[in-house]
Amino acid sequence: MGMVHVILCRCFGELDSALDLEGIRTRLEGHSDVASVDTAGSLCLPGDAAAVFSRVLERGAKKVLIGCCSPFGRGNVLRDELIRGGLASSDVVSVDLREGCAWIHGKDPAGAVKKAWNLLDMGLASLGRAGRSDNVTVRVQPRALVIGAGASGLSAAATLAGLGFETHLVERTAAPGGLLNLISRTYPTGESGPDKLKGFIGEMERNPLITFHSGTRVESVKGYGGDFKVRVVSSGEAKLIRAGAVIVATGARVLLPRGMMGYGSLKNVITQMEMERRFFTGKVDCTAAVLLQCAGARSPERPYCSTICCPLSLKNAKRVLKEVPGSRAYVLHRDIMTPGSVLEAYYREALRAGVQFIRFDPQKPPDILGEEMFKGVEVDDAVTGIRRKIDADLLVLSTPLIPDPENQKLAEILDLPVDRYGFFEETYPLHPVETRVDGIFICGAARWPVSSDQAIQQGETAAMKAAAFLSHEKIPALLQSPVPGGKAGHARADADFCTGCGNCTAVCPYGACRLQKMNGRSVSRVIKVRCKACGNCISVCPNGAMQIPERSDRAVGEMIRRAFREVC
Amino acid sequence: MSATKNVHDVRIIVFACRWCGLIGADGAGRERTALPASFRVIPVECAGFVEPDLIIRALADGVTGIAVLGCHLGGCRFSDGNHPALKRLELLRTLLDTTGIGGRRLLIGFGTAHESHQFAEMIREFHRELSELPSPGTWLAGTMKRQ
């Protein structure tokens, strides 16, 4: 007489007809691990499922095996229902008898029956041998810290405060605003940068929930999602902020094209940012402006597209034509990147306004003419193949956004990965603002070049994600995971077997394994709230010290042993 | 020994990562793709979980072949769990070849969640390939005899 109560679903006769469920039931009743076997007509029907589940739970079942459809069908739902009914998540297993067996082996009925039996047997093996990870609970500090008060940081702080969360906004310079302070007009609305932020800055000053720390840098971060202890320093004075979530909104820098295309050596060769400053002060005097795209971008050292320079150039070219009557504007480009209906319309507007577009081959960049003073360009038009000479008196270089040089240091402090260029990296493309550390979110140009509108939207997104995180009073570590329904368990290092080789710390994608001194030697310790139970540490451990109790060697080994066991 | 063996003698253990491989397998089931009944799927969190130990143990237990299915390289749910997995398993494959067990008994596959046709194709092909290899009992017995 075993411990496991088995529930088999007929699936409206789908499984019955293919798998000889009655025979399997009789044999299961004789299995040494099984306490009882129930069959249900269909567990999809709420009445059926409730009746069977309550019957099984009344018998005092501690471990339940469900033979039904795949976990992505109803399997996981049924499992969750039993867990809600009071069973431990490690003690309920659903076995996929429909998609994984009945539906694909119709041509081999005997093989299908044997496989169904083996699958159930493997489920029993895993229930019998698997252990249970001990859970830990984090008490969440209902407070957020936003690093960087640019467009994305301000919008994140305003959103969080609007939702009622205390928010600390840390900015290394004296005033909020970031790069947008330097933009005279943003595309596509034409609003000025500072105007765009006025609402957010007003909110920041008005709302008592937002504390603004100017001239402050983050020095160290300790703790984990739900309870970070952040040390910030402002002019030599250190402060400790305990925050449940951290939003990284540090933005990006604009590349200064030193030594490129005559920048620095020729007069009237400027960057787009200087162009913006000229618009601010109203000193635009040129008869012909050449705007050169991809200056320093999409090159071997910076192969990415900065995404904002094309619309920016369209905007500035149009503005030159409008503000200086009789002037000409040329955009030299490799290809114009204006995705979406709004920006595409923006491009057509520029065409109508008289901006001339000349496409050049990246192999043959335009020649810059002039000594001391910029005189014009000579360029091979890639469309017509004709070499054109353009007389102009202003060259504007569209340089890309580059990662902030301080990203590397901040990444080390926060234990976040940066990509090969130096931007912060999200954990998974489907989770664009989440990082490998739960409770730390990234947004805006800190993660990738974005326009001001996108930065504001991403700030809101990160704030919503952070709010969802902060609204828990406590978070059990087993649920603290991007995985729906929680994770399989936690890895555990057995100090008796650990040799302190450090393989696990090197391979862990989440920085959950740490080497610690214990009785004079190093042993690995797993931070449970960080572990996502991927199991990479287990396969690199040379001495078998690492285990996930739910998926222990014993359990999986026994599953393999029973995978082809003859029908008993 | 070169005669094609009875198809039921093929025994495949599939370790499928539950973010890609397992969903692919599930998709093949939903499309009711006919597949040989010779494989058993063991869901794992990540292909990186599958330690070489388990594979060797499975082979010693009489399994003919092991497939490890993970996400595409670069698309791993756990950021880069399948890179070290690939390196490790390729090394193991060399070892299996050296010891005479045969690296062909280990299949490493990467696919995304919607590639159910790829899963079906992989299993069919693997099954066909394994059915031409001697059953594992033969090589275990063989090594014993030589000793």
Residues of chain B with pLDDT under 50: 1-8, 141-142, 144-147
The beta-carbon neighbor of B28 closest among A104, A119, A556 is A104
- Taking the Cβ of residue A94 and every Cβ of chain B, the question of whether any pair is shorter than 8 Å is answered with no
Q: Round to whole Å and give the CA distance between A487 and A477.
A: 9
Structural domains counted in chain B: 1
DSSP A428: B
Are the C-beta atoms of residues A313 and A293 closer than 8 Å to each other? yes
Residues 213-242, chain A, touching B (beta carbon < 8 A): none
In a domain, B146, yes or no: no
In this prediction, residue B138 carries a pLDDT of 53
Q: Hey, what CATH topology would domain A256-399 get?
A: FAD/NAD(P)-binding domain (3.50.50)
CATH superfamily of domain region A143-253+402-475: FAD/NAD(P)-binding domain (3.50.50.60)
DSSP A135: P
- Taking the Cβ of residue A428 and every Cβ of chain B, the question of whether any pair is shorter than 8 Å is answered with yes
- Taking the Cβ of residue B48 and every Cβ of chain A, the question of whether any pair is shorter than 8 Å is answered with yes
The beta-carbon neighbor of A538 closest among B43, B49, B80 is B49
Q: Where are chain A's structural domains?
A: 4-131, 143-253+402-475, 256-399, 492-551
- From the CB of residue B102, how many other CB atoms can be counted at a distance below 10 Å? 18
| CB pair distance less than 8 Å for A560 and B42 | yes
Q: Do domains A4-131 and A143-253+402-475 have the same CATH topology?
A: no
DSSP A70: -
- Taking the Cβ of residue B33 and every Cβ of chain A, the question of whether any pair is shorter than 8 Å is answered with yes
In this prediction, residue A483 carries a pLDDT of 53
- Picking from B23, B32, B50, B77 by the largest number of A CB atoms within 10 A of its own CB, the best residue to mutate is B77
Alpha helices in A6-84 (DSSP H): 14-19, 21-29, 46-58, 76-84
| CB pair distance less than 8 Å for A104 and B48 | no
Look up the ipTM and state it: 0.90
Stated pTM of the model: 0.81
Distance from the B57 Cα atom to the nearest Cα atom in chain A, whole angstroms: 8
In a domain, B40, yes or no: yes
In this prediction, residue A303 carries a pLDDT of 93
In this prediction, residue B8 carries a pLDDT of 46
Residue B37 sits in a domain whose CATH number is 3.40.50
Pairing type for strands A252-254 and A401-403 reads antiparallel
In a domain, B147, yes or no: no
Give contacts of A133 with chain B, Cβ < 8 Å. Answer: none
| CB pair distance less than 8 Å for A536 and B54 | no
- Taking the Cβ of residue B43 and every Cβ of chain A, the question of whether any pair is shorter than 8 Å is answered with yes
| Distances in whole angstroms, Cα of residue A170 to Cα of each of A214, A247, A489, A505 | 6, 10, 36, 31
Cis peptide before A542 (omega within 30 of 0): no
Chain A residue whose CA is closest to B33: A104
Residues of chain A with pLDDT under 70: 1, 479-486, 568
Gyration radius (Cα) of chain B, Å: 15
In this prediction, residue B144 carries a pLDDT of 47
In tens, the pLDDT along A402-449 reads 999 999 999 999 989 899 999 999 887 788 999 988 899 999 999 999
Does domain A492-551 sit in CATH 3.40.50.720?
no
The beta-carbon neighbor of B81 closest among A98, A101, A509 is A509
- Taking the Cβ of residue A390 and every Cβ of chain B, the question of whether any pair is shorter than 8 Å is answered with no
Return the C-alpha torsion angle A547, A549, A550, A553, nearest 10. Answer: 50
Q: Which residue has the tokens 């007009």?
A: A185
In this prediction, residue A484 carries a pLDDT of 53
Q: Round to whole Å and give the CA distance between A314 and A293.
A: 11
Q: Round to whole Å and give the CA distance between A550 and A538.
A: 13
Residue type at position A2: G
Q: Round to whole Å and give the CA distance between B58 and A281.
A: 75
Q: Which residue has the tokens 């007929």?
A: A10
In this prediction, residue A485 carries a pLDDT of 54
Q: Hey, what CATH topology would domain A4-131 get?
A: Rossmann fold (3.40.50)
Torsion sign over Cα A171, A172, A176, A181: negative
Domain that holds residue B30: 2-141
In this prediction, residue B16 carries a pLDDT of 93
Q: Environment class of residue A421 by beta-carbon count within 10 Å: exposed (0-12), middle (13-18) or buried (19+)?
A: middle
- Taking the Cβ of residue A485 and every Cβ of chain B, the question of whether any pair is shorter than 8 Å is answered with no
The beta-carbon neighbor of A564 closest among B11, B41, B78 is B11
The beta-carbon neighbor of B26 closest among A72, A112, A559 is A72
| CB pair distance less than 8 Å for A534 and B45 | yes
- B72-88 burial code (b ≥16 CB/10 A, e <16): eeebbbbbbbbbbbbeb
In tens, the pLDDT along B104-143 reads 999 999 887 788 899 999 999 999 999 888 776 655 544 5
In this prediction, residue A489 carries a pLDDT of 84
- Phi/psi region, residue A186 (left: phi>0; alpha: psi -120 to 50; beta: rest), is beta
